[in-house]
Amino acid sequence: MKDIEIAKSLLKEEDLAIAIVKDGKVLFSSREKGIKPMYMAVSELKENLEGSSVADKVIGKAAAKLCIYGKVKELNTYLISERAIEVLKEEDIIFTFEKSTPYIKNRDKTDMCPVEKLSQNIDDTDELLKRISLFLDSIKEGA
């Protein structure tokens, strides 16, 4: 079975938010929502992500940029933002999705997802990583 098929199967069967597979082995998986799992995967496994396959429930621009940064080979998602599609089309990542949306919404569906919002005008991945880190720290403190 191809890595992307394994990742998609794991996502569904184990009710995960993200599954990353490379050479038939699971590199990373999480049930946590939001950008945190993708950020953690890129932060912890950066060198090993190259050539991996990612299945994720939701991909916005920030998550798409992190996939590019990690040199992911293939991506499958249920929901993707139009900005994420634009970013991925510029790169050499095979990607498939079930639904697209103008933008990813926040958890209570009243506005744009805060990470989608903070990524809008950022093209530099190092700056994006910094801002995601600050965002995750801010919500940790507020919890």
Output the domain CATH number for residue 89: 3.40.140.30
Whole-number percent of the chain with pLDDT over 70 = 98
pLDDT at position 142 over 70? no
User: Helix count (H) and strand count (E) of the chain?
Assistant: 6, 5
pLDDT at 48: 94
For residue 140, pLDDT over 90 is answered with: no
Residue pLDDT, tens place only, 24-41: 999 999 999 999 999 999
Average pLDDT estimate for 104-127: 92
- Model confidence at 143, pLDDT cuts 50, 70, 90, reads low
Range of the domain at 90: 3-142
C-alpha to C-alpha distance for 115 and 49, rounded to whole angstroms: 22
Number of Cβ within a 10 Å radius of residue 122: 17
- Please write the tens of the pLDDT for every residue from 66-108: 999 999 999 999 999 999 999 999 998 999 999 999 999 999 9
Token pair 């038939």 is found at 24
Beta-strand pair 94-101/74-81: parallel
Q: How confident is the model at residue 47 (pLDDT cuts 50, 70, 90)?
A: confident
- Which of 54, 53, 47 shows the shortest CA–CA distance to 69? 47
Q: How many domains does the chain have?
A: 1
Query: What pLDDT shows up at residue 100?
Result: 98
